[in-house]
Amino acid sequence: MIKIYAYKDITIDEIFAREEEKSTVADVVAEIIADVRKNGDRALKAYCEKFDGAAAEVLEVSQEERTAALAEVDAEFMEILREAADHIRSFHEKQKRTDFVITERPGVVLGQKIIPLDRVGLYVPGGTASYPSTVLMDCIPAKIAGVKEVCMVTPAKGGRLNADIIAAAEVAGVDRIFKIGGAQAVAALAYGTESVPRVDKIVGPGNAFVAEAKKQVFGQVSIDMIAGPSEILVIADGASDAAVVAADLLSQAEHDKMASAVLVTESEALAQAVSKELERQIPLLPRAEIARASIDQNGKIIIVDTIAQAIEVSNEIAPEHLEVCVDDPFKYLADIRHAGSIFLGRNAPEALGDYFAGPNHTLPTSGTARFSSPLGVDDFIKKSSFTYYTQDALAAEAEKIGFFARREGLEAHARSAMVRTDKGVIQ
């Protein structure tokens, strides 16, 4: 049963289950990465045989295989995928940056250019935990950014591709698909093999081995984030429907036994009603065992004095998902500073963000919303600045540059500016 606390009786650190687990997979992952770096496709095929029960002769999914997988997907789901993709594109198009040029000083041109990454790798689980929504969320912003090639890796369990994943890849515009998963797939994307090209960035969720592999290859390539267990914090006032609030808490609890679902309310009556609703609803879920463990181990209801105080609590926690279930949520929006994604009002369940609304569902967890953001177009670009000076413009500032450089003890820096002027003879 979910635990109920008065806010004064619990610390912020105790509200969400964020203890860092000691990794038991780091050594195994390091060996897999080293093997793939040394043996390339041969290692990948051996791991496919070991973990997926089959190893394809050709690792890349052919157009014929893509077409055959698409034929398995019903028309209704394809239409839903396309509509969701349209919403995601519409939202992320607004994130696009443009170059700028500054010419305010005579003889000086300064600017910044936006450069899309050349190639991105998208990791997608392909077994029982398969998420076609993640394909849309991770590929579409990359395409909007102008990434030249998106390469998706996904395991083919028993040699069989997950048709829903292939359908989402088709809708999102994935360029190439490879039948590999696990830490070995991450290694292939990071370092390249005979079949798999090296990428500039790896995005997408995975199990502990995948997360550890992303951690170990970071620096060789960029990654999106190291995501922790799912989190939801629901702020709800006394007028809220207990059945609705309980359903929203369970939408994250069913993800993972380590997931955290927390309600913060000013109403003790709502707290008790939600507790009872959770007990009624959990046995009705197909993933009841997971939801039960999550709620019993990590679920909490915190009773505060006011909704304004609930917002303060949320800012301290910086949750992945934040729901504000009140009649006038925009009254509080300006005060919300730290949350991955914010769902406003009584008709915006977190599941909207997972599938259909448009904002990205790849979000910072474990309190990292204090300083990081949802996945977006900015994650698939880099920026270069440029500088141009005429001879006269440099001459006007060379002595100041030299003075600054010598202040830092860097004489060669000073001379590189001064030598371009009539006062900069090097002796």
Active site annotation includes 87: no
Q: Which of 231, 266, 320, 323 is catalytic?
A: 320
Residue 88 corresponds to which tokens in the numbers above? 């995601």
If phi over 0 gives left and psi between -120 and 50 gives alpha, with beta otherwise, what is residue 53?
A: left
Alpha carbon distance 325, 244 (integer Å)? 10
Residue 138 · residue 203 · CB < 8 Å: yes
Neighbours of 356 (CB within 10 A): 15
Q: At what angle do helices 132-145 and 163-172 cross, to 10 degrees?
A: 20
The one catalytic residue in 92, 255, 321, 361 is 321
**Distance in angstroms (rounded) separating the CA atoms of residues 143 and 161:** 23
Reply yes or no on whether 320 is catalytic: yes
Place of tokens 């997931």: 259
The partner residues of 178 in beta bridges, in order of sequence, read 60, 153
Residue 126 dihedral angles phi and psi, to the nearest 5°: -130, 5
Q: Rounded to 5 degrees, what are φ and ψ at 142?
A: -65, -45
For residue 201, the cross-strand partners are 120, 222
Tokens representing residue 396 in the block: 């006007």
**Tokens 């992303």 identify what position?**
214
Q: Tell me the catalytic residues.
A: 320-321
